[in-house]
Amino acid sequence: MKVRLPLNPIDEYLVDGAPRAELAYLWETIAKVGRDGFVSRAKQRDLYLSMQGITFTLSGIERPLPVDLIPRVIEVQEWQHLEAGIKQRITALEAFLDDVYGEQHLFRDGIVPKALIQSSEHYHRAAHGIKPANGVHIHVAGVDLVRDQNGTLRVLEDNLRSPSGVSYVMENRRTMAHVVPELFNGYSIRSVDEYPERLIAALIAASPRGVSNPNIVVLTPGVHNSAHFEHAFLARRMGVELVEGRDLYCRNNKVYMRTTQGSEEIHVIYRRIDDDFLDPIHFKPDSLLGIPGVLNAARANNVSIANGVGNGVADDKALYTYVPRLIEYYLNQKAILPNVDSFDLQDPDVLHDVLSRLDELVVKPVAGSGGYGITIGPKATKEELAIVADEITLNPRNWVAQPLVALSTIPTVQEDGSLSPRHVDLRPFAVNDGKEVWVLPGGLTRVALVEGNVVVNSSQGGGSKDTWVLTDETIGERESIEIEETDPALDPLNLEIVPQEIGPEVLPPSRMRQQEEQQQQYHVNLEVCHNA
């Protein structure tokens, strides 16, 4: 039996079969590459990726993380909106972390139930009293967003511990420029190469007080970790050592690295291992990945740990519901980016309602990450739903329920070279140096490569897309150079549009208007953009 989602997603390229105005020229280029062209370019890409050693482990098997050859394109205005929303969110969550591991005004003011925080498995009492040198807890954040059926970008999840994927953002751009360079023609795109510089600057800014020339390392759990490629990539691009726990040791509350020339004091650790494994004195005593004593070295302000210890309490799925309130409380602003609605299962009435219509909702375990353990109501069997219902009833604190969101789609290259719409999400990355929250233009667009799959997650076999943020120039120069209009129905790649899923009626009116205006002043910038 085929179960169809009850909502129609919108497509980010095509409206009623025709490309959005700013994509028309790109769409034409795509058509010129053609079906056979994409088949051979895909082969080139695979070869390029495996030569570069860009891999991602899925259930223990190493394989290239496929970058789809059709990019996602974000317009200037939308990016400005996203950027402002992410900065706001990270600023509020920083204030929250400072408060929750400090004075705890938010409990006194009744903003968040104390029990919600105290029962979070990521709330680390051992992190109390650790004061980051420049006040930053969230050195790097990855905020997951989705575009719903009304075209609204919504935050799905904050990742404030060790968000991964930024190396793919940079590598995807490089791969695209190598494999399909002509797609860049006519577009001026913001660079993504600045990231390592921004990160190292933020890590230097996080140095312990009095340290002017800090030694910085990237701490990895080891080669078996699924993101090891990224750890090595970032260390190399920042020009710092990539180390494992056994390479470091503490003495007298200072951290040292063992080198062939003896020991060297370390001042900043960009760690990509979880809190639980960081310091066996305070967390798992049997952890071999961490460094005994490192937490107290941070407490003594001899070393800075990035991201901060205990950040997980701020990206806990149960706290997520409260983030708009936190933005109001700490910043006195309305949230720029809305959440996906979620239901507070600790309220008995809400719980009752949710249990009665589990088949139309998405439920996720609070502690889970990576897309495992998510139940999508319309796709689950009666038996699966019954099991989930039992577990939710037993421990509502551990679950979050949300209405189904029809994730937007973008045309995606299939094995035979044709295009077919696939669901996407977006993870922009932000870096906080204590003075400014900087957002990398673009981010990682993850795409579900399986038709109809609505969970897009690189640990579930998804792929990714190069994500373009257009510059003002693209618009400006477009006005000066006119070209002939192309046939909007041009579709040599046999794009398999499922009519009931991508209809013009799902576009909000405001978007339709914008669409019309842009079509009237339709120009394309013919200048080739050398961005990579």
Partner 1 sequence: MSWRMQVTHSTSFQYESEVLASFNEARMTPINFSGQYLIQHRFKVSPDSTIFEYEDYFETQVKSFDVQSPHTSLLIVADSVVETHGPAPEPAHITWDVLLDPIFIDEFDEYLHHSSLVDYIEPGLNLRSQETPLAAVHFLNGIMREKITYAAGVTHVYSPASEAWSKGAGVCQDFTHASLSILREAGIPARYISGYLYTGDGNIGETVVGESHSWVEAWVGEWLPFDPTNGRPVAEDHIVVAKGRDYHDVSPLKGIFSGGASRKTDVIVSLTRLS
Q: Which residues are near partner 1 by CB under 8 A?
A: 107, 113-115, 118-119, 125-126, 128-129, 249-253, 280-281, 285, 292-293, 296, 299-300
Q: What is the rounded distance in angstroms from the CA atom of residue 407 to the CA atom of residue 422?
A: 9
Task: Tell me whether residue 130 or residue 400 sits nearer to partner 1 (CB atom).
Answer: 130
Task: Tell me whether residue 154 or residue 397 sits nearer to partner 1 (CB atom).
Answer: 397
Residues 6 or more apart in contact with residue 329 via CB below 8 angstroms = 92, 106, 109, 111
At its nearest, how many Å lie between partner 1 and the CB of residue 265? 15
Q: What is the rounded distance in angstroms from the CA atom of residue 172 to the CA atom of residue 188?
A: 17
At its nearest, how many Å lie between partner 1 and the CB of residue 99? 15
Long-range contacts of 281-284 (CB under 8 A, 24+ apart): 282/124, 282/126, 283/124, 283/126
At its nearest, how many Å lie between partner 1 and the CB of residue 295? 9
Task: Tell me whether residue 99 or residue 466 sits nearer to partner 1 (CB atom).
Answer: 99
At its nearest, how many Å lie between partner 1 and the CB of residue 217? 20
Distances (CA, A) of 202 to 52, 182, 232, 308: 28, 35, 18, 13
Contact 12, 72 (CB under 8 A): yes
Instruction: Report helix, strand or coil for 138.
Output: coil
Task: Tell me whether residue 113 or residue 151 sits nearer to partner 1 (CB atom).
Answer: 113
At its nearest, how many Å lie between partner 1 and the CB of residue 301? 11
* Pick from 123, 119, 159, 154: nearest CA to 139: 159
Strand partners, 249: 256
Task: Tell me whether residue 118 or residue 152 sits nearer to partner 1 (CB atom).
Answer: 118
At its nearest, how many Å lie between partner 1 and the CB of residue 104? 11
Where does residue 511 rank: exposed (0-12), middle (13-18), buried (19+ CB within 10 A)?
middle
At position 201, the amino acid (one-letter code) is A
Contact 230, 219 (CB under 8 A): no
Task: Tell me whether residue 249 or residue 522 sits nearer to partner 1 (CB atom).
Answer: 249
Task: Tell me whether residue 163 or residue 280 sits nearer to partner 1 (CB atom).
Answer: 280
Q: What is the rounded distance in angstroms from the CA atom of residue 117 to the CA atom of residue 131?
A: 19
Where does residue 444 rank: exposed (0-12), middle (13-18), buried (19+ CB within 10 A)?
buried
Task: Tell me whether residue 138 or residue 255 sits nearer to partner 1 (CB atom).
Answer: 255
At its nearest, how many Å lie between partner 1 and the CB of residue 385? 29
At its nearest, how many Å lie between partner 1 and the CB of residue 434? 23
At its nearest, how many Å lie between partner 1 and the CB of residue 293? 5
Query: What count of Cα atoms within 13 Å lies in the side-chain half-sphere of residue 86?
Result: 34
At its nearest, how many Å lie between partner 1 and the CB of residue 367? 17
Task: Tell me whether residue 298 or residue 456 sits nearer to partner 1 (CB atom).
Answer: 298
Helix 166-179 and helix 228-238, axial crossing angle in degrees, nearest 10:
80
Strand partners, 88: none
Task: Tell me whether residue 44 or residue 119 sits nearer to partner 1 (CB atom).
Answer: 119
Among left, alpha and beta (phi > 0; psi -120 to 50; other), residue 17 is left
